Every structure is written in C-alpha cells, then in structure tokens.
Amino acid sequence: MATYTYPVTNPFQARTVTEPDFEPNLFKENLYVNLDEVRGEDFIQDIRFTLNIDQTDDRLHEPTDDYVKIIFSGHRGCGKTTELKRLHDKFNHPDRYFSIFLSIEEEMEYGSFQPEDFFVWIILKLVEAVHQQDISVGTTALNDLAKQLLSDKVIEQELKNSFQTELGLDTDAGINILGWFKFKAIAKAVFAGTNETSTKIREEVRRNTLDVIDKINSALVDIRSAIQKSGKGGDILFIVDGSEKLKFEVYEYLFIENPNLLKALSVNLIVAVPINSFYQIEKTPGYFPNQIIVPMVKLGAVDSRANECFKEVVRRRVDENTFFDAGVLDECVQCSGGCMRQLLIIVNSVIRKARGNKASLETAKTAIHELGRRMFDLLDSEHMKALVLRPDDRKLGDVKVREMLFQLVLLKYNGKTDINPLLKPFVPQPQS
C-alpha cells in the first residue's frame, strides 16, 4: 500500500485519500478527529454500563450476570468501525476485558459467508488470540469440538492435499491449540470456496447447532479461566465489525429466525449490523434489549464546533489551500448532512470535477448537484411517497424507509428522519 505525507498536495493522491473506501490507519497516521464533543458520549457510556465497567475506577469488578449481546448500528459511514476499534482499544485491558476484534470484511470472504461460519470464527479468533498471548489452555473441550467439526476422513485428506495442512487429530492427544491455530491460518481460503471441508463443517453446524454451541461454551469456560489466571482480563468480549456487505439472509438467520443461537453463546458480544437490518431486528419477537445506534452529527452554522470538526477531517487528508477556493469546504460540509462517508464522497467528487486544480465554489456546487441528481434518479415512486411524508409519519419498520436509511437517502437525527441535503433540491417539501 502506498504511503502518503498528509495533508497531501498531489492531485492524484488527493483523489485517492478522499475515496470513501480508502482505509488508512486513522490513529497511526494522525487522521482521526475526535467527535465526542459534537456527537456526544452517551452511547459509549451506555455500553460501558451494560458491560459492568465501573465508572469510578474504570474497572470490571464483577462479570455481567448474563452474557451480554449488544446490537451496534448506524448509518453507513457514520464511524461505526472507528468507534468499535476505540471500544476495543479501551476495553482490551487486564482490568477490564480480554477483547477480541473480529472484522468480517478483513478476515473472511464476505460474499461466501454463511450463518454457520459465525460460530466457527468465534472459536478460531479466540484460539488465535490465546495463542498470540501465550496463554496455556486445557485442550479437552477444544478436542471435543475438533472431533465434531474436523475429524471426517474426507476433511483430513482435503486439508492435507489441497491446503497442505495437518491438524494432528489422529494422534492420541488430539488437536491442540497449535492445530486450531493452523486451521485458522487457512480458514479464509477454506470458507471462501466450495469444497468438502467447508460443506461438511457447515452441514454439521446446521444439523447440530445447539450441540456445537455447547462444545464452544465448554471451550469458553476453559479459556476464560486461563485468561483470568494469567491476569489478561476479567472476562471475554468479542467485537464483531465489517458486516455492511453481508447478505441480509445472514442477519435474518442469526437475529430474526434464530436469535436463541446467539443468545446461547456464553460470551459477551458487540455485533455491528447495517441500519436497515437493525430496524428489522428490532421489531422481531427474538428481541435483543441492548441496542446502540451511533448518533449522526447535527451540523450547525458554518463556524460551529461540529462543522469545524468535519472540516478538520478533510484538512488532515488534503491541503485546503491547494484544492479549494474560499467557501468550498464549508459547502461540502454543509451538504454532508453530518455523515462522514458522504463528506468524503462530496470532497472526492469536487476534486475530480476540478481535475485536481483549485476548485471554485461554482465547480463545487456543480459537483454536489450532480451527486444529488444521481441519488434522485435511483428513487422509485414508493420512495417518493415516503419522502413527502412528515418526518413523524415515516415508519422505520417500512421496507422502503429502511432501504433509504441504508442508502443515505434519509438521515436519522435524535429519533427523527430528514431528507439527505443532496436530495432536497429535487424532492418536494414534506407535507405539513
């Protein structure tokens, strides 16, 4: 990956670093802008309280009575991944939790991800973390799980011949931590394709899900005890991110049709889901009581603190004086609607429209208008009917409303929805 000296002045680099899917290390490269002051910290404090972290001394004195499952959501590009990484960095401490960050997008081929894979990856990431921390763990429970999932002779041969991996299941001692670690190293390739190993593992999990979960829970008991004895944390916490691109069927299976399966796992979980899936999950009988939405930033006047924070995000990436005339950055921020992803899309479009030259306010407005037009052209008649309703009359449970939240056609602030600023020139005013 190319390295950059920020803020960049090269027009081609400016185009790259403002792409919404460009993924630098925000913290190491000094690109992170703390939005706590303008977004608020209530959602963070709610998570800390739910996980029993004492606000007076920032410690976990007693594990939660039940294993907590927190559904974490928000608009695309609102900063969910950044906030989850901050939570992981804060909670992963001997005085608090042995926290494991699992990025579905980075660890797996999300296009081929199946609901059954979730349970396998929980144990694989935990074994990897324990191995990396050199924590000694008993292998009885892990052996039992390995025998159920991996002991088929067809799997053994395929792993050996196609993936050049031998796990040691045929030895008297059975598979150890190293064997699981070796399987973790090839798991992405195994589950990415159609092969005997992935097929048989998924079939076994699907047929005997509760039995597999019981064995995972038995392994969790042993691993949790080892973590506590080694002074690495008071309990285990999984933070699962990167779910935006998964098929809805995955969420439907795990959160709507079979919520008891996640609840049966004896481990604390924070799981990110897309905002459209969040509202579908919220209205189902298998209710998850711990739900968090990352708030949108409500922008104010041009010189407000919120607007200044958003401008600072751009200024840290690209040199303002090189690429923008006076007022251009203010216009980009105001049209972002308080969504970081949209801000970067707008800035990138302005840079492209100016072909890397210094963009005038007129050029910026033209680029912004074109973005709004493209968004408007994708709307159908049912979308339009919902858009002209009063905000209080838009029902978050309606399919079209959920679609528009996911597509950033609608933005949600403090419980109310508003039309994306990019669209307002093209859409009639909502009914009064």
Q: What is the CATH number of the domain that holds 257?
A: 3.40.50.300
Asked whether the beta carbons of 223 and 83 are under 8 A apart, the reply is no
Amino acid (one-letter) located at 219:
A
CA distances from 140 to 25, 115, 182, 226 (A): 39, 26, 18, 13
Q: Which two tokens stand for residue 211?
A: 């039995």
Amino acid (one-letter) located at 344:
L
**If you ran DSSP here, which 8-state letter would residue 143 be given?**
H
402 with 257, same domain? no
**If you ran DSSP here, which 8-state letter would residue 255 be given?**
I
Residue 318 belongs to some domain of the structure: no
399 with 278, same domain? no
Beta bridge pairs of residue 417:
412
Q: 125-141 in b/e burial notation, b at 16+ Cβ within 10 A?
A: bbbbbbbeeebebebeb
388 with 289, same domain? no
What is residue 432's predicted lDDT score, i.e. its pLDDT? 56
80 with 187, same domain? yes
Beta bridge pairs of residue 73:
293
Looking at the 3D structure of the chain, how many domains does it have? Answer: 2
Residues in the chain: 432
Query: Cα separation of 41 and 274, whole Å?
Result: 21
Residue 121 belongs to some domain of the structure: yes
Consecutive H or E run containing 73:
strand 69-73
Residue 250 belongs to some domain of the structure: yes
Can you give 258-313 as a three-state secondary structure string? CHHHHHHCCCEEEEECCHHHHHHHHCCCCCCCEEEECCCCCCCCCCCHHHHHHHHH
Residue 55 belongs to some domain of the structure: yes
Residue 15 belongs to some domain of the structure: no
Query: Cα separation of 114 and 185, whole Å?
Result: 19
Asked whether the beta carbons of 375 and 420 are under 8 A apart, the reply is yes
Cis peptide before 7 (omega within 30 of 0): yes
Q: Which two tokens stand for residue 55?
A: 């606000």
What is residue 365's predicted lDDT score, i.e. its pLDDT? 97
Instruction: State which of 242, 276, 293 marks the end of a domain.
Output: 293
Under DSSP, is residue 324 helix (H, G, I), strand (E, B) or coil?
strand
Q: Output the tens digit of pLDDT for each of the chain's 432 residues.
A: 688 999 999 999 999 999 988 989 898 999 999 999 998 889 999 999 999 999 999 999 999 989 999 999 888 888 898 999 999 999 999 999 999 999 988 888 888 999 999 999 999 999 999 999 999 988 788 888 988 998 888 998 999 999 998 887 655 555 667 788 889 999 999 999 889 999 999 999 999 999 999 999 999 999 999 999 999 999 999 999 987 778 888 888 888 889 899 999 999 999 998 887 777 776 665 678 898 988 888 898 888 999 999 999 999 999 999 999 999 999 999 999 999 999 999 999 999 999 999 999 999 999 999 999 999 999 999 889 888 888 878 887 788 888 888 888 988 876 678 899 999 999 887 665
Residue 26 belongs to some domain of the structure: no
Residue 23 belongs to some domain of the structure: no
78 with 227, same domain? yes
Residue 399 belongs to some domain of the structure: yes
- Dmax over Cα atoms in the chain, in whole Å? 75
Residue 22: count of CB within 10 angstroms of its CB: 13
382 with 289, same domain? no
For residue 142, which of 187, 183, 202, 192 has the smallest C-alpha distance?
183
Instruction: State which of 267, 293, 319 marks the end of a domain.
Output: 293
Consecutive H or E run containing 287:
none
Instruction: State which of 293, 320, 340 marks the end of a domain.
Output: 293
What is residue 321's predicted lDDT score, i.e. its pLDDT? 97
Asked whether the beta carbons of 411 and 417 are under 8 A apart, the reply is yes
Query: Cα separation of 193 and 389, whole Å?
Result: 46
What is residue 174's predicted lDDT score, i.e. its pLDDT? 58
Helices 399-406/275-282 angle, 10° precision: 150
What is residue 111's predicted lDDT score, i.e. its pLDDT? 84
Burial class (CB in 10 A: 0-12, 13-18, 19+), 289: exposed
Asked whether the beta carbons of 227 and 98 are under 8 A apart, the reply is yes
Q: Which domain holds residue 385?
A: 378-419
What is residue 156's predicted lDDT score, i.e. its pLDDT? 87
Q: Which two tokens stand for residue 280?
A: 């579908």
Q: Which two tokens stand for residue 97?
A: 């939790």
Q: What contacts 164, CB < 8 A, 6 or more positions away?
A: none
Query: Cα separation of 27 and 179, whole Å?
Result: 34
